[in-house]
Structure 1
Amino acid sequence: MFSGVIFDMDGLMFDTEKVWGACWEPTLARLGLPMKEGIADAARGTAGPEFAHVVREWFGEKADAQLIWDVWHEVAAECFDHGIEKKPGLDELLAYLDEQDVPMAVASSSTRRDIIHHLDMAEIRSYFTVVLSSLEVEHAKPAPDVFLEAAHRIDVEPSQALVLEDSYNGVRAGVAGGFCTVMVPDLAAPSEEMRRIAHRICSSLLEVRDLLRTGELG
């Protein structure tokens, strides 16, 4: 069994990636910018400078990445206030890890406010010892900073911790940090790179729970 488990949030714990993607068009419309096919995929799993880099690649060097980020989050918040759906197996996995006294952390590219909002709405915040946003560390995913800091805060060595992710950047970050990194795909199917670098690819969090139970994982 692992000494700690670190969860991504969007697309891994909650079915929110579709919402974030759908929010691009109204966000850009509010700002008078054209919708561009593929921007949602390009920005997925990024934050801070990495998000700004994507925005400037798609909309030019003069694009106000912070303004786009802020409006995008305002639009999404309006949608999330209507509720969020948990991913299959989340409750079962959390309950199992809690029974085993395994410390858990959330390390997400979302803002701290959004993370806490989602955890509170789903009534699962009490499971997590640490809640951390990529905006609170120097480099966002695909750099491993947020996972390394989360591991430090729950007092677990990366080699003894499990990282659960759905995005390419998240998997890259977990692997770069020396974690056992499992991909549970959401909108993006596993690429050849993901199949090569991820420790394992699981169909759901319920499968993760079952593999931990049998000792096939960890």
Structure 2
Amino acid sequence: MPYQGVLFDMDGLLLDSERLVVECFRQATADFNLPDMDDVVFRLIGLRQDAGEVILRKALDGRVDYLTFYEGWYAHIQDRMAQGIPLKDGVKLLLKLLRDQGLPCAVATSTHTAKAREHLEIAGILPYFKTVTGGEQVQHGKPAPDIYLAAAASIGVQASDCAAFEDSDPGTNAAFASGARTVQVPDINAPAPEMHKLGHTIAPDILQGARMIGLITG
């Protein structure tokens, strides 16, 4: 059966933003003299803010107020993103090819919807998406499938009739559990060993992944 829609994660998949987020996290830990926090940010990737908050509060362990740290980190992110948000390789070409095919595209991101739309607009690709579904729109965040089911419904199709692209393990598990044909394009975190047994496609870049599942040719 031909694909009826294409679903995309955002950070680390469409936008080359996760490296920026990591750099800003390190700036924030330096601001608050927290040298032992370097690995924490990698555990937050792909998670909704509420799930990430649990991890971050535990790591801070009362040394710095959570909201104070988060606001400092977010201020660094906003300053950097105001200068522009780069796209991952191949993203613009793939979106143009899918538009030419008439395939509706949707974003399924753990980021809040308004913030996601702002970032996609800054990056110059918001018009390619019929809908944007943010993490606050569903009850359960990734790795639960809710956001992919909701994103598919928002463009009037079933997730099982869609291709889905992700970078993180939690997001990949969410997309796969929704029934979508799932492609993982790893970013700064390599897939965990157990991910290789999931049954999805792991690709070196988004264009190659699209070719591997027959979404595009050539």
TM-score (norm 1): 0.88
Q: 1:196 to 1:167 in 2, by over 3 A?
A: same
Distance in 1 separating the partners of 2:199 and 2:12: 17
Q: Percent identity?
A: 33
Secondary structure of residue in 2 paired with 1:110: coil
Q: 1:122 to 1:194 in 2, by over 3 A?
A: same
Q: 1:113 to 1:33 in 2, by over 3 A?
A: farther
Shift of 1:131: 0.8
Shift of 1:66: 4.9
Corresponding pairs, count: 214
Secondary structure of residue in 2 paired with 1:105: strand
Query: Does the CA contact (< 8 Å) of 1:93 and 1:208 recur in 2?
Result: no
Secondary structure of residue in 1 paired with 2:28: helix
Shift of 1:64: 5.1
Shift of 1:105: 0.6
Greater Cα shift, 63-72 or 199-208: 63-72
Distance in 2 separating the partners of 1:52 and 1:179: 28
Q: Which amino acid aligns with 1:135?
A: E
- Structure 1 unaligned regions, length at least 5: none
Query: Does the CA contact (< 8 Å) of 2:4 and 2:103 recur in 1?
Result: yes
Secondary structure of residue in 1 paired with 2:108: strand
Could you tell me which residue of structure 2 aligns to residue 46 of structure 1?
A: 47
- What's the Cα RMSD here? 2.2
Q: Which amino acid aligns with 1:126?
A: P
Could you tell me which residue of structure 1 aligns to residue 216 of structure 2?
A: 213
Shift of 1:61: 7.4
What CA deviation, in whole Å up to 9, does each residue of 1:154-189 have, x standing for no partner?
A: 111121111100001111111222222110111112
Shift of 1:25: 2.5
Could you tell me which residue of structure 1 aligns to residue 204 of structure 2?
A: 203
Query: Does the CA contact (< 8 Å) of 1:161 and 1:180 recur in 2?
Result: yes
Secondary structure of residue in 1 paired with 2:6: strand
Distance in 2 separating the partners of 1:142 and 1:8: 12
> What does 1:121-160 align with in structure 2 at a 5 Å threshold?
121-160=122-161
Shift of 1:137: 1.7
Query: Does the CA contact (< 8 Å) of 1:9 and 1:107 recur in 2?
Result: yes
Secondary structure of residue in 1 paired with 2:102: coil
Q: Which amino acid aligns with 1:116?
A: R
Could you tell me which residue of structure 2 aligns to residue 166 of structure 1?
A: 167
Distance in 2 separating the partners of 1:60 and 1:52: 12
Could you tell me which residue of structure 2 aligns to residue 34 of structure 1?
A: 34
Distance in 2 separating the partners of 1:169 and 1:196: 15
Shift of 1:63: 7.0
Shift of 1:136: 2.4
Could you tell me which residue of structure 2 aligns to residue 6 of structure 1?
A: 7
Q: Which amino acid aligns with 1:93?
A: L
TM-score (norm 2): 0.88
Distance in 1 separating the partners of 2:204 and 2:163: 16
